[in-house]
Amino acid sequence: MGSWIRCKCNQLVHKNLFCSTGISLVVTEEFLDVERPEESAQDLVSEIILTSERMLKCSNCGRIILLKESKDEFELRFFSPDSE
Ligand SMILES: [Zn+2]
């Protein structure tokens, strides 16, 4: 699967950053509370990218998909929008 995950509606959703896929990063309060006086803005962004969950949106069904991925962890959670 590589760069893609499959939504529950069967749509393929791109999960890689920097491919103009509209992915958001979920930064926790816990992360923001840590003081990093020596860290540059660029390093902070890199740390956020490495440690944060990614928030994807399925273009087909509108589900929000939270993705937690590291070298020894892979977790997907799906959230459906309320139907009108
Ligand atoms: Zn979907």
The 10s digit of each residue's pLDDT in 28-84 is 999 999 999 999 999 999 999 989 999 999 999 999 999 998 888 899 999 998 876
Closest CA to 55 of 34, 28, 37: 28
Predicted TM-score (pTM) of this structure? 0.85
Distance 75 CA to ligand 1 centre (A): 17
Residue 1 has pLDDT above 60, yes or no: no
76-81 — which CB contacts under 8 Å span 24+ positions?
76/5, 78/7, 78/8
Q: Are strands 64-70 and 12-14 parallel, antiparallel or unpaired?
A: unpaired
Distance 81 CA to ligand 1 centre (A): 11
Residue pLDDT, tens place only, 2-41: 799 999 999 999 998 877 778 999 999 999 999 999 999 9
Distance 9 CA to ligand 1 centre (A): 4
pLDDT, position 19: 76
Domain segments of the chain as ranges: 4-79
Distance 71 CA to ligand 1 centre (A): 25
Name the helix (H) or strand (E) containing 64.
strand 64-70
Cα distance between residue 51 and residue 3, in whole Å? 18
Distance 57 CA to ligand 1 centre (A): 8
